[in-house]
Structure 1
């Protein structure tokens, strides 16, 4: 048996081999190409529609091989499977039948995915070479296997990679391309060879753009990476490379089969295109970080590198680097080469720092998702669920035609605003997955549970153990037939083991997958969407949170807030930290015992809910909604006691929001520290306002906001950032510079006496009163009233005279 890991996959029709499945894998011994020929694509129809189906397809000249099944759809109709000799016939038949109102089930599953799905094969496989025809290219250390037997495996590969970055003119003409990994650093540059002094990378000179593309192709084939990484590498670098190759009529051979890359333009409602290279995976760093749930104010390479690595690009002017790149290409090519290579190095170091490749490999092993798949929660769920569904005798439903209806969100209780001491936070561990496990929430379980309920009515059964588990919105779930609870149990156990092994990449991958399952069931983009499923999770969460709060009140404590899975409990202002923590652990034990007893008594279910005493806040603020006496939601601050130290924590307030200035963030942090430490905030506020109005804090007045639409699309309401961006690009146009803000960019601006102005073209005096009124005052009035003060009273000119 040979251990291998799947890199790329495709399926197509071949005149000689029929419907073909084509996989590329990396293995212990090198690269492997696997070909399955003479395959039969298929989909399902209801048996009651089979005669009509055969008649329709016969009239259209489409050959089909039907077979009756014992499987049912979710309407409990018996199904038939239709086999075809080609992918083209399969797709054409589905279109024709759909037009004739005949529903085709699972017709959207591609042949190469279907093969893996039916065999429960994810990314890692074992290959039986004894049952395969083998051709080997010794020079490339590459084997081609025909129709081998594949089994699930556990192989965790070390993928070879190359980081790629291009530099070009503002018109898209290529200047240079850099390639880098732990062993290689190459820059391919257009231009006449220049003398160099002890460069720590290889500089390859080429005569023109065509030669650059051909050299790049040959270099990639020589380096032969499994993975190509970069920053916006698909939608910018490769899109442009393929466009320029097409312009020069170059066969841009990048694949391990010697063929060119395949490009597919994005769907109308998406921005991201798609690239496919045989045997190589292209992974964009931005998409990978988002998939791993990283969050940044800006996903620019400069910002992410500064945040993660504390270093950035090799340029003095990041905001105007396009002009600098053009200048360097004409007058300082060595500087451009260094800059080009540094971008590759930054991407490689970001991947290494965040273990992104390890994370993506583990995600593929757990779910079968492609390495370059962005998001993918629905596909991950389907890959795990469909094999179990088929084994149970069911065929999956299709996507909802209406896109799905919104399901209730998480529970958020009204808060009790105030300034407190000794506030506990009790948090349910993975609440939604726990609810799924405990209450057996499952797509097939819903179908079976509803049948059990009907049978109970007919047979007048009263034994609760035999009855289905009641959910919400008319849902009932089977106690015995379900798959999702067991899937979550296995993932939960794997995550606990990953934590013990300190395998952060695996732990994070499992957490993301496990927590995505609620969202999948509530998504109209999932074939298993049913509002009864999602509602039975969220509304059960509401019930659990309300019952938990009631038990805490019965224990003699006040609940001041609750949010999705967290309960905030105020103990007493006059209490030592040790006593407060002891009460936290006591409440944790009490609530867990009560849920175990409650679920046994009322539902005859095993309890998988687990509440944890998470945090003690020695000082805590629950603010009011501005201009109201009502308490805020999802907004609070406090001193959290962790490892014997106080840590100032802000949730949802100005300090953690990117659309507030550095001035506001520093003011809020210092003001809250003063109030929490029971000091007089008057001197601080007066001095801070004075410094602001005197221009001593001008460096903190910059707003940074993102334009989420194209600049021309803002018509009715024109926010300040749009006004600043339009002013900047008007000046850019006058000066013959590139327009920076037309298509969803970040803008940095200040408020002046003439309105918002971009920082690069500020021409009027700053409107300091704006910052006092709109940045400082709202922050101060969020906390001062709780100690009997107000911002206006402190800063009144009349009062300040005395």
Structure 2
């Protein structure tokens, strides 16, 4: 045993009771090895109000629950003194919570001590560890450990992509394992001549034994997969339990543990399990579907080897008849996941997120938890405990972002001015903050008036400083060409408003959220006034973007100069305004974002009123012209490909003053001739199980039901997409022997798009008189 100090990165954390005492356990990746770090002597706690001390003490003594109750230098937001109740084990704390909660409010009782221990030390992933080290088989044990924040350490992590194939009942067929240098498929069946990556085993027991041996040999830090937490790991654990096998996958020869609550948690000691779908969503990637088949097509340009609707049926067939094809399919799924993680740098994003917030690597979602991690230790240092949900008793709805009425029409020159990180900038400028609200309400003379009763202290707050630090870090990340860190910072900053407006956050207060959004309304309206004072028309505005119409005869150079001039004018105006009206420094910054020429804002269908969040404009990028669509059919997955192609060609012709009649005739003839049959598919996801639709059954559900009646082995699941066409017998998945209703597509997919253009009546008239188009 030796004393040592290591820089490292926390892979996982847990707490347990060891000989009646709380034990914290952290698995830490270092440059030398993986360390199992244990911390003893900590006590878990919650807080109670001073008024409840006597009642709490009596209840705990009556039930012989040992506790150490001490007054602490903390108070509630209403200024009442608080006491901490300390317990030697998490089991004692749990029993105390059950006993006291019906009788009195408890504070911060939901925070695990293994999280609080790190949070209060401002440890966010990267850490210095010091303690007594003992070399074990495959890892280093560090006891009597001390931990300290380390801002700079970034680990190099080994990754294993894992995927299972099984029956509909969860009976295992095979498991695939792929790293950067190794690939295996453990397959149940008699050995066959074929690829040497297949490890043939006799049965499920042998498959699990082989899996454990291979995970131990490969020794990954991270295990990734597609829906791996809620499916693959759960199925493996349940099959091991059913077969009476302890599924040992941990670095210290501990078995896998599955915890099911509001969400599924997987604990494999010394390793982290990260799901691809959750990570994509957290990194704000958007796909029509997050199925591996769809994501791999869009990201990698590759399709799965089994990509039909009855995938399970084909997997079962291959297991029974063609095991080598199933092995190849299993292996390819592992490779696709590994390649998606690599190409989109998803692991880099997860690391950056942990280093910013302190959340666990595998923790997905968690905006509220991230905010708590960042804010709570600062609040404690100001002498306050966090409030409980809804203690202020306020529950009115906060307004959303400002959306201006649009001026529909075709414009030759439009520039877009965007406020950079508007809501975080409002927080920073106008000092919107939970603690600041509490202090502002009691010291009106030294405060800033917000909205709906919000008043914020000029001197006591933390959130504006957090925003400032994150903005500086983001700029540093951009300078260092670290896009994943920059993206993680952006997501965290932009989540602050949503968290403060979420009833699931302990800091929720509608006065906070509305003081952000209504200030945004004020900023957008005042900005519009200043622009119009310069003689320009503002034709639209949305949350943080202002669309300015410039004279139609101006060239691109003059429009760009106007954009830069307006940017400087508005930023200077906000500096003067904030100083004059609030005695504050403005951190609002508007940017000249885009120049469109031309630009089109449609009307609402069937009305003269301008549409919102829908437009199309042409930009020049790297010497090439490109059409940008927002909210239009060409970017919506619920429109057919024929409609999307038609809209692209129609607007290209419209902007170039070409013949719209000829374009439309061409598409109508393609549809009627059958040439475009492959482009007529509608694609709609099932929001619930097919049988749950009773009233107003939509077309995609009707198509799914018909298909299931004809094919009893096919079962459409919630979340699955239904691809169908409209025939004379209604919506249908099976359309080979049915006549497609081409008039439906002309009226529902071509007509509405043409109709949005100004002065299109002449085109309709000519189509009608020629007998090509029918109303």
**Could you say which TM-score interval applies, normalised by the shorter chain?**
over 0.9
Tell me how far 1:123 sits from its aligned partner: 0.6
2:357 counterpart of 1:383: no
Please give the alpha-carbon distance, in whole angstroms, between the structure 1 residues aligned to 2:402 and 2:6: 50
Structure 1 gap ranges (5+): 457-466
Partner residue, 1:491 = 470
Aligned to 2:179: 181
What residue number does 1:553 align with? Answer: 532
- Looking at structure 1, the residues matched to 197 and 700 of structure 2 have their Cα atoms a distance apart, in angstroms, of 44
Establish whether residue 399 from structure 1 lines up as the match of residue 389 from structure 2. yes
Match of residue 142 from structure 1? 140
The equivalent residue for 2:51 is 48
- Which of 58, 61, 73 aligns to 1:58? It is 61
2:508 is matched with which residue? 529
State the SS of the aligned residue for 1:127. strand
Task: Find the aligned partners of 1:614 and 1:502 in 2 and give their Cα distance.
Answer: 21
CA distance in 1, matches of 2:87, 2:352: 35
- Does the residue aligned with 2:310 lie in a helix, a strand or coil? helix
**How far did 1:403 drift?**
10
Deviation per CA, 1:542-585, whole angstroms, max 9, x where unpaired? 00000000000000000000000000011122221111111111
Deviation of 1:511 (Å): 0.9
Structure 1 residue 745 corresponds to structure 2 residue 717: no
Pick aligned residue for 1:630 from 609, 613, 621: 609
Which of residues 439, 452, 456 in structure 2 aligns to 1:448?
Answer: 439
Q: 1:800, 1:330 → 2: CA distance?
A: 54
Contact preservation (8 Å) 1:29, 1:141? no
Tell me the alpha carbon deviations over residues 89-132 of structure 1, each in whole angstroms, 9 at most, x when there is no partner. Answer: 212222222211x110100001111111111111110012xxx2
How many Å separate the matches in 2 of 1:788 and 1:222? 69
Distance 1:738 1:65, change over 3 A: same
Deviates more, 1:627-636 or 1:405-414: 405-414
When normalised by structure 1's length, the TM-score is 0.93
1:666-699 residue CA offsets vs partner (Å, 9 max, x unmatched): 0111001111111121111122112212212111
- Give the whole-Å Cα distance in 1 for the aligned partners of 2:64 and 2:522: 57
Whether the 8 Å CA contact 2:7–2:150 is kept in 1: the answer is: no
CA distance in 1, matches of 2:647, 2:191: 56
- Contact kept in structure 1, 2:288 and 2:637, CA below 8 Å: yes
| Map of 1:126 onto structure 2 | 128
Equivalent residues of 1:17, 1:37 under 8 A apart? no
C-alpha distance in 2 between matches for 1:655 and 1:697: 17
Q: Mean Cα displacement is larger for which, 107-116 or 330-339?
A: 330-339
**1:775 aligned to 2:754?**
no
Deviation (angstroms), 1:297: 0.5
Q: By how many angstroms is 1:335 displaced?
A: 1.7
1:672 is matched with 651
Whole-angstrom CA distance in 1 between matches of 2:240 and 2:772: 71
Where does residue 155 of structure 1 map in the other structure? Answer: 153
Distance 1:378 1:578, change over 3 A: same
Spell out the pairing of 1:420-569 with structure 2 (5 A cutoff): 420-453=411-444, 456=445, 467-569=446-548
1:276 and 1:667 map into 2 onto residues whose CA distance is 51
User: Deviations for 1:507-555, whole angstroms, at most 9, x for unmatched residues?
Assistant: 1111111111111111111111110111110000000000000000000
Q: Retained in 2: the 8 A contact 1:781–1:791? A: no
Alpha-carbon distance in structure 2 between the residues aligned to 1:254 and 1:718: 47
CA contact (8 A) 2:124 2:149 kept: no
Query: Which is worse superposed, 790-799 or 606-615?
Result: 790-799
Change (3 A) 1:52 1:107: same
From the superposition, tell whether residues 177 and 95 of structure 1 become closer, same or farther in structure 2 (CA, over 3 Å).
same
| 1:177–1:188 Cα contact (<8 Å) kept | yes
Answer yes or no: is the 8 Å Cα contact 2:394–2:510 preserved in 1. no
**1:266 CA displacement:** 4.2
Question: Is 2:291 aligned against 1:290?
Answer: no
2:101 aligned counterpart, secondary structure = helix
2:247 is aligned to 252
Question: Match of 2:642, SS?
Answer: helix
Find 1:172's aligned residue among 165, 170, 173. 170
The Cα of 1:330 is off from its aligned counterpart by: 2.3
Counterparts of 1:238 and 1:66, CA distance in 2: 42
Indicate the residue corresponding to 2:767 in structure 1: 795
Matched, 1:195 2:170: no
CA offset digits 1:379-430 (Å, max 9, x no partner)? 1111111111000001001223789553210000111111111011000001
Q: Which secondary structure does the structure 2 equivalent of 1:539 belong to?
A: helix
Maintained 8 Å contact 1:188/1:206: yes
What secondary structure is seen at the aligned counterpart in 2 of 1:318? coil
The change in CA–CA distance for 1:679 and 1:761 in structure 2 (over 3 A counts) is closer
- Give the aligned partner of residue 554 of structure 2: 575
Q: 2: CA distance between counterparts of 1:338 and 1:690? A: 44
Query: SS state of the match for residue 520, structure 1?
Result: helix
State whether residues 616 and 630 of structure 2, in contact with CA within 8 Å, keep that contact through their aligned partners in structure 1.
Answer: yes
The alpha carbon displacement at 1:153 in A equals 4.0
Deviation at residue 763 of structure 1 after TM alignment: 3.8
Report the counterpart of residue 459 of structure 1 in structure 2: none
Distance 1:265 1:732, change over 3 A: farther
Does the CA-based 8 Å contact 2:47-2:108 persist in structure 1? yes
Q: Is the 8 A contact 1:120 1:152 kept in 2?
A: no
Shift in Å at residue 480 of structure 1?
1.0
Pick the aligned partner of 1:302 from 293, 309, 316: 293
How far the C-alpha of 1:797 sits from its partner, in A, is: 4.2
Equivalent residue, structure 1, for 2:323: 333
Q: Give per-residue Cα distances to partners, 1:9-45, cap 9 Å, x unaligned.
A: 111222x251111111111111101112232111111
Cα distance in 2 between the residues matched to 1:163 and 1:261: 17
Given candidates 4, 8, 11, the residue that maps to 1:4 is 8
Change (3 A) 1:405 1:192: farther
1:42-92 Cα deviation digits (max 9, x unpaired)? 111111221122122222222221111231111221111111122122122
Cα distance change of structure 1 residues 800 and 284 upon mapping to structure 2, 3 Å threshold: closer
Shift of residue 792 of structure 1?
Answer: 3.6
What does residue 303 of structure 2 align with? 312
Counterpart Cα distance in 2 of 1:397 and 1:203: 57
- When the two chains are superposed, the root-mean-square deviation of aligned CA atoms in Å is 1.7
* Residues 249 and 584 of structure 1, relative CA distance in 2, 3 Å threshold: same
- Which deviates more from structure 2 when the two are superposed, residues 142-151 or residues 474-483? 142-151
Equivalent residue, structure 2, for 1:462: none
Shift in alpha-carbon separation, 1:257–1:791, aligned structure 2, 3 A? farther
Rounded Cα–Cα distance in structure 1 between residues aligned with 2:113 and 2:692: 41
* Counterpart Cα distance in 2 of 1:190 and 1:683: 61
Matched residues in 2 for 1:641 and 1:568: separation?
Answer: 17
SS of the residue 2:349 aligns to = helix
